[in-house]
Amino acid sequence: MVYAIIGFLAYILGSIPSGLIVGKVFYKIDIREHGSGNLGGTNSFRTLGVKAGLVVTIADILKGTVATALPFWFGSDFHPLLAGLLAVIGHMYPVFAGFRGGKAVATSGGVLLAYNPILFLVLISCFFLSLYLSKMVSLSSIIAAIVGVIYSFFYGDKPLVIAISLLAFFVIYRHRANIKRIINKTEPKIKWM
């Protein structure tokens, strides 16, 4: 019963559509109708501005962090990474937003922040280094996901290898349209860095 409660809560936490809430409550905008149509932080930055983008990104990270911490709070042996994965699935396919969610980057980061903060810092560093060099959020997200998989193999934690491989798959799969644009040299670049 406790497993079911943790799994359900993790998915529901992930399903909270931060971008949709911030857009509709504070800007009277449904961000799914603007920019990329995505509910994540990148489209929030693009559509709503820096302040809103930061709020959405932090909220999406915290969804993964809180969900991953649920087993500890319940005193359960439910694996925290499984709870985190359920939150990421909720973020990608949110029950509260017609199952049209984000691309799994920030919430995946939140999972790692709770489970392995050092890895989180390594991936944030890789992300921003790649962003500085390429000016592409999508490419930087994909590179960070791949670095995470490589790192996990050297860390010696089998559940982490499995979880981060799944998270990387989610991130890459959700960026498949971006990958085509990167190949075609039509992917939008940021202008603030």
Express each pLDDT in 16-69 by its tens digit. Answer: 999 999 999 999 998 988 888 788 888 888 888 889 999 999 999 999 999 999
User: Helices 137-155 and 117-134 meet at what angle, rounded to 10?
Assistant: 150
Q: How far apart are CA 92 and CA 46, in angstroms?
A: 19
Looking at residue 41, its pLDDT comes to 86
Buried-exposed string 23-53: b where 16+ CB fall within 10 A, e elsewhere: beeeeebebbeeebebbbbbbbbbbbeeebb
Q: What is the average pLDDT score of the chain?
A: 94
pTM above 0.85, yes or no: yes
Cα distances (Å, whole numbers) of residue 70 to 52, 91, 187: 27, 16, 37
Mean pLDDT to the nearest integer, 7-22: 96
Q: What secondary structure letter does DSSP report for 97?
A: G
The most distant pair of C-alpha atoms in the chain lies apart, rounded to whole Å, by 50
